Amino acid sequence: MAPKETTTNSNSNGMQEFKLAVIGGGGVGKSALTVQFIQNIYIEEYDPTIEDSYRKHAKIDDKPVFLEILDTAGQEEYKALRDSYMRTADGFLMVYSVIDRKTFEEVNEFYEQILRVKDCDKAPMVLVGNKCDLESERVIRIDEAKVYSKQLGIPMIETSAKQRLNVDESFALLVREVRKSLKSSDEDQLTKKKKKPCSIL
């Protein structure tokens, strides 16, 4: 069998460890979202070349979690690598820009690709409409995005990386989704009658 590349879901201390991928077309503000999440303070020179640039300890719903964010912003055109990158992640933030319809339409492509990579019909994902501060330029109404996210069966949230609005919340939503899938996976193994969720391990 092929070697596993995914991260383990808990470290030696028993703390949960998740790898979350931030996915989306170029220019949706993925990287800004990630930087805002990783760095709590406003920073004049963000150096992304160091090992801990994308790691963070967080406490979500009172439970601590160690997060490694996989954000390959800038590598969007390396389409051949998407499968590899997606396979390593436990959960996905699918980001579009509310001022760019093309990026909203691209989400479906990512959605399908994630399910294909994970070889299952459900994976922990959150739909994120970024740049919601640019109200006057908005082309994707929140209702439209809600209807779509309902169809996909995933949570949806609007964010503004610029104004640091809902940034932490979007990641927290995703962590909950990942936890939910782990839980249902456990149940699955016990009951063995539900549909097979994505195996993360």
Partner 1 sequence: MNVFDKIQPNSGSVPPPSSNTTKRPKSLAAMLSRNRSSTSKFDNLSTTITNNDDDSNNTANTTSETNNNTTTTPINDDDNTASPSITTNTTNTTTPTYTPTTPPPPPPAALKQRRISMAAYTQKPSTTTINTANDDNNNDNNINSPPSITTTSSSVTNIDITNNNTTPMDLLTTIDCKQNNIEVGSSSVPSTPTTTTGSNVSTPTGTKPTTATATAGNRKSQKPAEVLNPQDFYSVDLSQLTYTPDPDSSIVIQENQIEHASLNKLIEELTSHTNYDIHFLHTFMLTFRNFTDKETILKKLEERFNYPPNCPPEEFATFKREILDKVRLRIINSIKYWIENFFVFDFDSEMMQFLSKFIEMVRKSNQNALAKVIENTLERVKNNDSGKVITKVECPEILKLKKKVFSKKKTYSILDYPLQEVARQMSLIDYTMFKKIEPKECLNQAWNKEHRVTKAPNISRMIQHFNQFSGFVATEILKQEDHEKRVKCVEKFIELANHCKGLNNFNAVFSVMSGLNSSSIHRLSKTWEAISEEAKKTREELLSITNTNGNFANLRNMLKTVNPPCVPYNGVFLTDLTFIEDGSPKYINGLINFGKCRLFAKVIRDIQTYQNTRYNFEEYKELKDQIEAVEKLSDDELFNMSLQVQPRAQKKKKVATSTANASASSLKEDDEENEKKPEKLDF
Cβ nearer to partner 1, comparing 112 with 186: 112
Instruction: Map the footprint of partner 1 across residues 15-34, applying CB under 8 A.
Output: 19, 26-27, 29, 31-32, 34
Cβ nearer to partner 1, comparing 39 with 189: 39
Q: At what angle do helices 142-152 and 101-118 cross, to 10 degrees?
A: 10
Give the distance from CA 85 to its chain's centroid.
12
Please identify which residue in 100, 103, 111, 181 interacts with partner 1, judged by CB under 8 A: 111
* DSSP β-ladder status, 16-24 and 91-97: parallel
Asked if 187 is part of the footprint of partner 1 (rule: CB under 8 A), the reply reads: no
Asked if 134 is part of the footprint of partner 1 (rule: CB under 8 A), the reply reads: no
Count, residues near partner 1 per rule CB under 8 A? 81
Nearest alpha-carbon partner for 39 in 25, 23, 55, 59: 55
Cβ nearer to partner 1, comparing 7 with 160: 7
Alpha carbons within 13 A on the beta-carbon side of 155? 19
Nearest alpha-carbon partner for 94 in 74, 124, 64, 65: 124
Q: Can you spell out the DSSP letters for 41-60? A: S--SS--TTSGGGGEEEEEE
Instruction: Map the footprint of partner 1 across residues 47-106, applying CB under 8 A.
Output: 47-56, 58-62, 68, 70-81, 83-85, 87-88
CB of 107 to partner 1, least distance (A): 9
Asked if 148 is part of the footprint of partner 1 (rule: CB under 8 A), the reply reads: yes
Asked if 165 is part of the footprint of partner 1 (rule: CB under 8 A), the reply reads: no
